[in-house]
Structure 1
Amino acid sequence: MTDPTFREATAADVPAVVALVESAYRGESSRAGWTTEADLLAGQRTDAGGIGAVVDAPGSVLLLAERDGALVGCCELRQVGQVAYFGTFAVDPAAQGGGIGRRLLTRADAEAVRRWGASALEMTVIVQRADLIAWYERLGFTATGERRPFPYGDERFGRPLRDDLEFVVLRRPTAPTT
């Protein structure tokens, strides 16, 4: 397999990004990978409006990873002071476990430093996702101790299948550029 290439998303990429994110987190297709949230949430993970807003917003970028011309991963970076929020992170379930996520995270780290001089990446993960949190911890993220509520009642983020969902905030320092 060839190494992935990276580029910034445009408005034309929005439908493909929505399909990728949905396949990685929701429904039966997500069960082919290990990032599924299908046992925690039903319905959509995102929509064209949400992805389009990331593409269009000043101070944000949606990075794409492609292999042989096919979209295999994406992530959002958004400037929040000296920190870059890292989210909308998805890898095609059929490609998970092959290093694309690590490469995309490394690229995101470098982009956050290059674009904004970010000192850290910050993200939120559903606290019940212990396996995913452990993966991020192996990549240098640590829990800040902060928790954020899940947006119950806002079906743009899905329909919760349990009533105890919340987010844990993770952070890791960015790698300085030389």
Structure 2
Amino acid sequence: MADWELRPASAADVEAVAELRAVVLRADLERLGRYDDQRVRQRLRDGFAPAYTWVVEVDGAFAGCVALRPDGDAHWLEHFYLAPRLQGGGIGTAVLRELLERCDRDGTPVRLNVLRGSPARRLYERHGFTVDAEDPVDVFLVRAPRMISAEGLSM
């Protein structure tokens, strides 16, 4: 696995994230008959919240992003995109694990939605997410916090 790190996002990251979103979601949105070249980018711009977003850097370069937005008694995992050339190499799993461990320490459930038929759903299910609801486009998943042992390990 390549060396990676998370850094806080800034407003200046919005266009790189919007472009990555368009690339990563294109196949799934086309399969669902919902791809619109402008809308896919604008939806990200409209919902981009740098205060809750991190940029994934690999070897010091932009490689992806992820947001963890508080909402009531839970957090929403959003905008989790990784450059296609880096997918399948363990970086996404490592980033997800780090964020889930933070939520476990706080005792916070995590919610997300994934497009129907997206291979990303398997990643989330491997980490304990279960189906909460579905609609014609999205599958909504939730993960209860795990207990943390005295050694700091999820149980």
Residue type of the alignment partner of 2:128: G
Retained in 2: the 8 A contact 1:74–1:90?
Answer: yes
Q: TM-score, normalised by structure 1?
A: 0.70
Task: Identify the structure with the greater helix proportion.
Answer: 2
Supply the AA of the counterpart residue of 1:172. R
Alpha-carbon distance, 1:9 to partner: 0.3
1:80 aligns with 2:68: no
Q: Is there any run of 5+ residues in structure 2 with no aligned partner, and where?
A: none
Q: Does 1:124 align with 2:113?
A: yes
| Partners of 1:82 and 1:118 within 8 A in 2 | no
Q: Does 1:66 align with 2:57?
A: yes
Q: Flag the 1:118–1:63 CA change in 2: closer, same or farther, 3 A.
A: farther
Find out whether 1:169 has 2:145 as its counterpart.
no
Length-normalised TM-score, structure 2: 0.79
* 1:50 counterpart = 2:46: yes
Q: Offset of 1:101 from its aligned partner?
A: 1.1
Aligned residue pairs, count:
145
Query: Structure 1: 5+ residue runs without aligned partners?
Result: 149-164
- Post-superposition Cα deviations, 1:105-152, rounded to whole Å, max 9, x if no partner, equal 1222234456xx3521111123x31633233212211112x235xxxx
Partner of 2:40, secondary structure, is coil
Higher normalized contact order (CA 8 Å, seq sep 6+, divided by chain length):
1
Percent identical among aligned pairs is 29
